[in-house]
Structure 1
Amino acid sequence: MMKTMKKWIALPAAVSLMLLSACGSNGEGTGNAEKSASAPSTQSPPASEAAKPELKALMRLGPNFEKDPIAAMLEEKTGYKVNYEALPVDKPEDKLNLLIASSEPYDIVSTGGDSSSKAIYADYAKKGALVDLTPLIEKYGKNIKAALSAETLEMAKVDGKIYAIPTRSIESVGTSLMIRKDWLDKLGLQVPTTLDELTAVLQAFKEKDPGGNGAKNIPMAIKGDVPMVDNIVGAFGMVNDWNDVDGKLIPRAMNPSFKDYLSYMSDLYKKGLLDQEFAINKDATVKEKFTNGKAGVIVLHWADIPQIDDALKKNFPDAAYVYIPALAGKDGQTGLAQSSGFDRITFVPKSSKHPEDAIKWIDAKLDPDTFKNMAIGLEGTHHTFKDGNYYPILPIFNDERGSASNYLTGIDEKNYPIYWQARVRKDERLYKGWEALNKQQKPEAFKKNPLGLAPYLPDYSKEDAQLGQMVNDYAVKVIVGAEQLAGFDAFTDKYKKAGGQTSYDEINAWYATVHK
């Protein structure tokens, strides 16, 4: 996935002026100039080619599109040849701003789906840089309307109009606490199920040193840029950045439970149960400490399990690990963050030469058979179907459908979460990890992000990134003892004045309309 495109919010003045100018240029950009300079064709193209022009698409990420079997399949099934490009991984927002501002004639553009990206999308729409897709979807979007829920399309609206095709995220739990099961077995301990049991296990890991590390023993390691630890925050009723408390959405910084969480984590740090170097830990550092046998507990996404398993088993062939289930706090609170909202959004710039064909192409991709073929290929060739489940046929599934997610411009919301599981079954270790988090938990443990499908909220979108950083910085300082909890109220006041109160008011004005 692409990193959040936070910088889009502050377009340079020159780029903004170029953007406004470009919106009135009817797409006369560099691409058109080049076309005008080319010699006219002496032969009329076949009717089929004239009816379906070549489209130009800018995707979030991508493989070598020219050699990818999925691109060839989509061309055959939709009848459209598409010239794909991908945004760069480094500073993608800079390139996109320039491309939009200079009226580059892209017909399809896919970006991220987080709050910052939605803010940029709304900004483009309000500046007149995007095509209103509402009438085009009505006229050409039979499959779009069948595949995407009314809720999804509603959340894509800006000023009552649809300017993008959203791709819904698959609602699933991605991360939790991973623990060395062989360490537990060595000490005769069970996998912890409550916060108190976790504390006791960490204390045993420190005192009895099942890994044989001596002074280098680390009961639990976390990253410095993520001091809000998945699963543990759930035991304090703060699974997401904003959580429902008595019918209101409250950010962590304004939640009294945040103080209790910081007290708990600070206590772990003081007792040596939390990595003393956590403030400077990077993701790779944490994983290395786990696979080198120094750390007993880390936060891990299930997608990283094969990498971790290979490295750990190389050093410790008999090592075993399991996910800790959703921990219960002192009041019985529990929760694992379940992703919700948009994975990406796809829009049609005003500079597009073929807006109608762009929507026709997206609609053709969402034909049920074509979409399934794109997602998991053909039965008997790329996958098998048994007992209601899809299983990949390897290695051809990886070779010919491994990059399917790069082509998503909206999904079959009913079936894709089922198709998608074939991708998890590519490796038994992956599936076991995903299953532990998503099928072996109590249903009440799953907590969706309540803002995942929120509409564009300008104040929240503008302030979210810097407020989130403020919370993380404060949390780290309190945990390591650089700040005292006696100043918690002062921090909350500072947070409110920095935009937290404005965001709170805006979010809850919306939430009151959907939460009855």
Structure 2
Amino acid sequence: MNKLKHAGKSAFAAMMVITLCTAMLAACGSNPSGGKQPGGSPDPSNKVSEGSKKEISISMFDRGKVPTEEGTYESNRWTKWINENSPVHVKWVPVARNQSQPKLNALIAAGEAPDLIWEYDRNYISQLANQGAIQPIGDYIDKYSTTYKAYLEKHPELQPYLKFNGQMYAVSFARETLANHGIWIRQDWLDKLGLKAPATLEEYVDVARKFKTGDPDGNGQADTVPIALSVSANSIHQALFFTSENQWYVEDGKLQFGRTVDRYADTLALQKQLFDEGLIDKEYITDTNFQRSSQLLTTGKAGIYLGNWDIEEINNNLIKNDPNAKMVPLESLSSKYGKNGLYQEAPPSVFTAFNSKMNEEQIKSAIQFIDWMLQDGWVPLKYGEENVHYNLVDGVRQKIDPDKFKKEVSYASEYAIMIDNVLLPEMFLAMAAKDEVSQNYAKEKGESLELVMKNKYRRDIPFNPDFPELTQLIATFSPIAQQIEAKVVTGGSSMSPEEGLIELRKEWKRLGGDNVEKLAQEWYDTNKNNLK
């Protein structure tokens, strides 16, 4: 989730001018409209009549965030705004975030997949390319694009990620920040119990124990769940041991899959310890969408939260329930292996691929939409409407009303399949609303971004191999591995972490792991000079 934090004041000022110039919007709150350039007046000549527009369909993540009064993910103020202002008419196809790939696979199998399919997971795009579900688009970008083609020339770091089997199968954009994971702790609980913020894994466990037994919420009951995390956020614990379940590592020149390295037993041992001692929620394995872990934190039951580096909405809900609560970010913890960084993303953001059933005219329309979105279409989707959701103050978009923004704008970012923006820690105070809660959190948000980027996250290769044998093995192995790990963590003495690792390696081998490792090594040896 980078060199951003080291930018000097002059660089910051220049960046503010470039990336934070405003999109002048019409005054109608229900139908925002923008001109051709952010900061310019609406340009009537830039609009195309609805009847003459081509239609394309695009997948999107349904995160359940559209308020009833706003409409649905398929139809709301922002879908209407897009169709009024973009060069095409877009039909949005929502898929549940935690079931996105199975849903998309079902749509593809039924011949009902949208024209544009996007996902964060490069491996999934690779799978679609290998299946023939999507098509190469490099020649079409050269032929029909202006804005995106120029953008790629400015961001050559993206290009290796967009190619599969030597051809360009997707478009993407540079992330606003590489920061992703974060660790947060209640400073008010630390203060109450006379504790300092943990810096090592041992101190982390010790603080969790004292949160459990010290009644930090003062309700006189032993009902504290020290650490709130979902099953996916457990990867933060894995990273403390320089491993991740789905990454490959170069060990003595040889590629080895994360779930099979020796260190992986340490991650299982930590999970088991935290579970056995009651330091994490006993039902965290069932929390696939952060709902339960967020609830534990916001209702005052938990004191440590593992999730995203930016938890503004969760923090606001906590403050509403307990105005004295104070969440602060933690730096990555040291383990016996040293200090790994908190998870940081590779440069590309979402990958958008083109359905193999699209003809050239449809592809041309989709590329026109991508150019429009990248040029300035993303701006109101991220910030809302000027003088309604933000005020422009010294070149910075300052949020007016956090609650209004949450209700009317926060879900709109799902439609921005292209964004041209960079986030710097210095920006957050200026952008935040002027109320005390927003200003206090903005300080912590800037600190969080700096802490996430302070330590380099170990990523031995920029992206994983993507050949079909590996894709199939991972799809089969992952649910089996999850069952083994659940038995280790929740099964008492039935299986030790060491026995769990042996079982993981056995299943990996049974499903063809030896051959996949051989193919992965050949891929690495062939490509390693281009993977730096």
TM-score of the aligned structures, taking structure 2 as reference length: 0.70
From 461, 467, 483, give the equivalent of 2:471. Answer: 461
Write the deviation string for residues 262-287 of structure 1: whole angstroms up to 9, x where unpaired.
23333344444444555556743333
- CA drift at 1:252: 2.7
Q: Specify the alignment match of 1:35 in structure 2.
A: none
- Asked if the contact 1:164/1:348 (under 8 Å) is kept, the reply is no
Q: Specify the alignment match of 1:435 in structure 2.
A: 446
Q: Specify the alignment match of 1:287 in structure 2.
A: 294
From 49, 68, 77, give the equivalent of 1:68. Answer: 77
- CA drift at 1:82: 0.7
Q: Specify the alignment match of 1:255 in structure 2.
A: 261
- CA drift at 1:327: 0.6
Which AA in structure 1 matches 2:474?
A: D
Q: Secondary structure at the match of 1:346?
A: strand
Q: Specify the alignment match of 1:318 in structure 2.
A: 324
Q: Secondary structure at the match of 1:60?
A: strand
Q: Which whole-Å CA distance do the structure 1 matches of 2:385 and 2:291 have between them? A: 37
- CA drift at 1:191: 0.7
From 316, 334, 345, give the equivalent of 1:339. Answer: 345
Distance 1:394 1:74, change over 3 A: farther
CA RMSD in angstroms comes to: 4.1
- CA drift at 1:347: 1.0
- CA drift at 1:123: 3.8
Q: Specify the alignment match of 2:511 in structure 1.
A: 498
- CA drift at 1:337: 0.8
Distance 1:493 1:401, change over 3 A: same
Q: Specify the alignment match of 1:187 in structure 2.
A: 193
Q: Which whole-Å CA distance do the structure 2 matches of 1:455 and 1:117 have between them? A: 12
Worse overlay, 183-192 or 236-245: 236-245
Distance 1:73 1:144, change over 3 A: same
Which AA in structure 1 matches 2:242?
A: G
Are 2:485 and 1:475 aligned?
yes
Q: Which whole-Å CA distance do the structure 2 matches of 1:118 and 1:332 have between them? A: 34
Distance 1:379 1:476, change over 3 A: same
Q: Specify the alignment match of 2:58 in structure 1.
A: 58
Q: Specify the alignment match of 1:109 in structure 2.
A: 116
- Note the 1:7-22 alignment, pairs <5 A: none
Distance 1:386 1:256, change over 3 A: farther
- CA drift at 1:189: 0.8
Question: Which of structures 1 and 2 has the bigger CA Rg?
Answer: 1
Write the deviation string for residues 111-159 of structure 1: whole angstroms up to 9, x where unpaired.
32314531443145x3xx6554232211221211112334434433344
Q: Secondary structure at the match of 2:324?
A: coil
Give aligned-pair identity as a percent: 23
Which AA in structure 1 matches 2:142?
A: E
Q: Which whole-Å CA distance do the structure 2 matches of 1:49 and 1:432 have between them? A: 45
Q: Secondary structure at the match of 1:218?
A: coil
- Asked if the contact 1:221/1:274 (under 8 Å) is kept, the reply is yes
Q: Which whole-Å CA distance do the structure 1 matches of 2:285 and 2:408 have between them? A: 42
- Note the 1:4-153 alignment, pairs <5 A: 53-61=53-61, 68=77, 71-72=80-81, 75-76=84-85, 80-89=87-96, 108-115=115-122, 117-124=124-131, 126=132, 130=134, 132-148=136-152, 149-153=155-159
Gapped regions of structure 2 (runs ≥ 5): 1-47, 63-71
- Asked if the contact 1:59/1:109 (under 8 Å) is kept, the reply is yes
Q: Which whole-Å CA distance do the structure 2 matches of 1:399 and 1:289 have between them? A: 23
Gapped regions of structure 1 (runs ≥ 5): 1-47
Q: Which whole-Å CA distance do the structure 1 matches of 2:201 and 2:167 have between them? A: 47
Which AA in structure 1 matches 2:241?
A: F
Q: Secondary structure at the match of 1:336?
A: coil
Distance 1:241 1:166, change over 3 A: same
Q: Which whole-Å CA distance do the structure 2 matches of 1:260 and 1:92 have between them? A: 31
- Asked if the contact 2:265/2:497 (under 8 Å) is kept, the reply is yes
Q: Secondary structure at the match of 2:198?
A: coil
Q: Which whole-Å CA distance do the structure 2 matches of 1:281 and 1:206 have between them? A: 21
Distance 1:258 1:118, change over 3 A: same
Q: Specify the alignment match of 1:34 in structure 2.
A: none
Q: Which whole-Å CA distance do the structure 1 matches of 2:353 and 2:520 have between them? A: 25
- CA drift at 1:222: 3.7
- CA drift at 1:439: 1.9
- CA drift at 1:192: 0.6
Q: Which whole-Å CA distance do the structure 1 matches of 2:101 and 2:366 have between them? A: 24
Q: Secondary structure at the match of 2:234?
A: coil
- Asked if the contact 2:125/2:351 (under 8 Å) is kept, the reply is no
- Asked if the contact 2:177/2:422 (under 8 Å) is kept, the reply is no
Q: Which whole-Å CA distance do the structure 1 matches of 2:513 and 2:141 have between them? A: 37
Q: Specify the alignment match of 2:24 in structure 1.
A: none
- Asked if the contact 2:378/2:416 (under 8 Å) is kept, the reply is no
Write the deviation string for residues 345-394 of structure 1: whole angstroms up to 9, x where unpaired.
13154344723532551354156355556654677776556677543455
Distance 1:359 1:69, change over 3 A: closer
TM-score of the aligned structures, taking structure 1 as reference length: 0.72
- CA drift at 1:190: 0.8
- Asked if the contact 2:397/2:431 (under 8 Å) is kept, the reply is no
